[in-house]
Amino acid sequence: MAIDPTFPDPRSLLPADRPIQLLDADGTFTEDPDWPIDLDDAQLAELYRLMVMARQIDAQAITLQRQGQLGVYASLRGQEAAQIGTAFALAAQDFVFPSYREMGVALVRGVDPADLLHVFRGTWLGAHDPAKHRFALITISIATQALHAAGFAMGAKLDGSDSCAVAYMGDGATSEGDAHEAFNFASVFGAPCVFVVQNNQYAISVPLTRQTKAPTIAHKGIGYGMPGYRCDGNDVLGTYAVMRQALRHAREGNGPVLIEAVTYRMEAHTTADDPTRYREDTELEQWRARDPITRLEKFLRDRELVDDEVVETVAQAAKAEAQSVRAALYDAPHGDPMELFSHVYAEPTQQLRDQHELLQAELQGQDA
């Protein structure tokens, strides 16, 4: 694969001193000529609708877990702007490689949230067709999907296509070797790839200060010769603007971009976690004041794009959607055990055919 044999000017790669922010915690909008947005009123309202829906389905998923309908669930609460703002900037031909916390991104891509939650129910290991919405299966082993994104982007470059690959990951993932290798491969090959790191401050219980000594995660970009953009991850207009620019940079053949969206995981790591053992309520309160949905709602009200009636309509629609997700999952049948052997290889081997028969006999024995 052709490479650019020059080394970049380091001054072009460092993040700004302060996180990029267009919408502050009070919902006040400040235009930034370096980070333009192109959203019309309908799109602004759509961002709001998606964020409210993500939060509502997220809450429903936690409820379903508490009721024994899901085995476990990893909440995105607090990260709606980081996910939906960045995903909203994607083009149809782009391909997303998510971790396991990206239900907000999935919603923007049109993936049925019930399909994602079937994975947490344990119905199947994966329940949606990645090609259909250009959204890969969720990846649980940390940072490994970053390499799939880099490889996909290398393929896009070889093919002369204008699609970008996007890997989503958390702050903890940046400590993994695969994140390093993915950043490096994408940059060496100038592949159209964007790495979106949602810095939600914790990897389960371990805080950012134990993950890295880099000034910020965005500063890591310079080590790979790619720009690092750092933004307020709770500002959906900021995350959108930053992603828009990153995708343009990658699509125009300039190689990958590393985005750090500074946010906070408002819930436990997963429903199996107890965050009271490692963080204080006061910290949670500080972040609650920076809530991504509250500030967008304030902004939209100030612009008279939403009022009480619209807010209520959006809330009701989100509740209805969450209810339909609940209906799809509640007591949903588990996978067919006879399918366990069907997809290990394109054609089952003799050994798998034998084991298929063995399981069938075991099940018939139970029925008899």
Residues at the interface with other proteins (CB under 8 A): 1-2, 95, 97, 124-127, 129-131, 136-137, 141, 144, 146-156, 158-159, 165, 177-178, 181-182, 184-185, 188, 339, 342-346, 349-351
Using the minimum distance from each CB to other proteins, give the nearer residue, 53 or 70.
Answer: 70
Nearer to other proteins, 195 or 299 (CB): 195
Residue number with CB closer to other proteins (27 or 126): 126
Alpha carbons 54 and 64: distance in angstroms, whole number: 15
Enumerate the β-bridge partners of residue 250: none
3-class SS of residue 141: coil
Angle CA(149)–CA(8)–CA(250) in degrees, nearest 5? 35
Quote the tokens at residue 135. Answer: 């959204």
Enumerate residues 6+ apart whose C-beta is below 8 A from 228: 13, 14, 15, 216, 217, 218, 219, 220, 221, 222, 257, 258, 259, 260
CB of 129 to other proteins, least distance (A): 4
- Identify which of residues 153 and 208 has a Cβ nearer to other proteins in the complex: 153
Give CA–CA dist 225/216, Å, rounded: 16
Q: Which is nearer to other proteins, 159 or 274 (CB)?
A: 159
Query: How far is C-alpha 223 from the geometric centre of its chain's CA atoms?
Result: 24
Within 8 A by CB and 6+ apart from 357, the residues are none
Q: Of the two residues 65 and 187, which places its CB atom closer to other proteins in the complex?
A: 187
Distance CA 126, CA 123 (A): 8
- Rounded Cα distance between 289 and 25, Å, is 7
- Smallest separation, CB 28 to other proteins (Å): 41
- Cβ neighbour number for residue 210 with a 10 Å cutoff: 12
User: Rounded distance, CA 181 to CA 164, Å?
Assistant: 18
Q: Which two tokens stand for residue 31?
A: 């235009």
Q: Which amino acid is at 265?
A: R
What does the DSSP assignment read for 30-75? ---TTS-----HHHHHHHHHHHHHHHHHHHHHHHHHHTTSSS----
**Residue 204 half-sphere exposure toward CB, CA atoms < 13 A:** 5
Positions marked catalytic: 265, 269, 278
Of 149 and 266, which has the nearer Cβ to other proteins?
Answer: 149
